[in-house]
C-alpha cells in the first residue's frame, strides 16, 4: 500500500528536469552567516534557495496529508525521516522552474547525505562550507539575540556540538571527494561575499 511518503514524488520512470540541475549544498555552524550569504548568491547568480527546515514547516502549514504526517512525527518528539526531507526537496526543485539550487543546512548528517544520493540520484556540483571558529559563532549568536532564552551560552554550545558530531563528517566526506569549497566565515559579511563571488565565478 502506498504511503503518504511517496506522495510528493512523480513516477520513478520519468526523468525530472532537476536531475540535470546544478545543486550546491551550503553548510556551516550556527551563526556562520549561511542565510545572509545565500540571499546574496540568489541575487547575484540567480540560484533558487531552499532550506530543508523551511520546506518542512511550509508543508505542515499547507494542511496536506503529507504535512499532517510530518506534524504528527514532530508532536511525538520523533525525528522526521531523511527520506521525507529529500522528497520535499525534490518536489520543490521540480516545481521551481529553475535549474540552479542552493540547499541550505543540508545534509545535516550522513543519513541525509545517503538518502539524497539514493532518492534524488544526483550529486552536488560542490559543497560551500562557511568555516568559522566556535568562539566567533558564540559571540555572534549571543550578540544578535540578546534576551532570547533559547540562545543562552549552554544552548549555543549544544547546537555547535550537534553540528560537530553530525555535520562535520559530511563536510569531511565531500572534502575527500574533492567537492568541498571552504570559505573563511570569520571575516565581515562583505568580505565573505567577495570570496563567495570569486568562487561562484570560477565554478559555474
Q: Give binding residues as ranges.
A: 31-36, 57, 78-80, 105-108, 112, 144, 148, 159, 187
Residue of 10 and 133 predicted with greater confidence: 133
Residue 187 φ/ψ, nearest 5 degrees: -80, 170
Q: Give binding residues for CMP as ranges.
A: 112
pLDDT in tens, 83-102: 989 999 999 999 998 999 99
Q: What is the pTM of this model?
A: 0.84
Grid coordinates 550546491 are at which residue? 24
| pLDDT given at position 2 | 39
For 5, which DSSP code?
G
End-to-end CA distance of the chain: 43
Query: Is residue 12 scored above 50 in pLDDT?
Result: no
Map out the domains of the chain with their CATH numbers. Answer: 22-203 (3.40.50.300)
| 89 contacts 120 by C-beta, under 8 angstroms | yes
Tell me what the pLDDT averaged over the chain comes to: 85
Q: Give binding residues for ATP as ranges.
A: 31-36, 144, 187
Residues in CB range of 14: below 8 A, 6 or more apart: none
Q: How confident is the model at residue 16 (pLDDT cuts 50, 70, 90)?
A: low
Query: Is residue 6 scored above 50 in pLDDT?
Result: no
Q: How confident is the model at residue 150 (pLDDT cuts 50, 70, 90)?
A: low
Residues in CB range of 51: below 8 A, 6 or more apart: 35, 103, 104, 105, 106
Q: Which of 18-32, 41-55, 92-106, 117-131 has the lowest mean pLDDT?
A: 18-32
Residues in CB range of 48: below 8 A, 6 or more apart: 42, 93, 96, 98, 100, 101, 102
Amino acid at each position: 500500500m502506498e504511503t503518504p511518503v511517496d506522495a510528493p514524488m512523480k513516477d520513478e520512470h520519468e526523468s525530472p528536469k532537476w536531475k540535470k540541475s546544478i545543486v550546491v549544498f551550503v553548510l556551516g555552524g550556527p551563526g556562520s552567516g549561511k542565510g545572509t550569504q545565500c540571499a546574496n548568491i540568489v541575487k547575484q547568480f540567480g540560484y533558487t534557495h531552499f532550506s530543508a527546515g523551511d520546506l518542512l514547516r511550509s508543508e505542515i502549514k499547507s494542511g496536506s496529508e503529507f504535512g499532517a504526517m510530518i506534524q504528527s512525527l514532530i508532536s511525538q518528539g520523533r525525528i522526521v525521516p531523511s527520506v521525507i526531507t529529500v522528497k520535499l526537496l525534490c518536489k520543490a526543485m521540480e516545481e521551481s522552474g529553475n535549474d540552479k539550487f542552493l540547499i541550505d543546512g543540508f545534509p545535516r548528517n550522513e543519513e541525509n547525505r545517503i538518502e539524497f544520493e539514493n532518492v534524488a540520484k544526483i550529486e552536488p556540483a560542490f559543497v560551500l562550507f562557511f568555516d568559522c571558529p566556535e568562539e566567533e559563532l558564540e559571540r555572534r549568536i549571543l550578540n544578535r539575540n540578546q534576551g532570547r532564552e533559547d540562545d543562552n551560552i549552554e544552548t549555543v554550545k549544544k547546537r555547535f556540538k550537534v553540528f560537530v558530531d553530525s555535520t562535520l563528517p559530511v563536510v569531511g566526506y565531500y572534502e575527500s571527494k574533492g567537492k568541498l569549497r571552504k570559505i573563511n566565515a570569520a571575516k565581515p559579511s562583505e568580505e565573505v561575499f567577495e570570496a563567495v563571488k570569486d568562487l561562484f565565478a570560477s565554478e559555474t
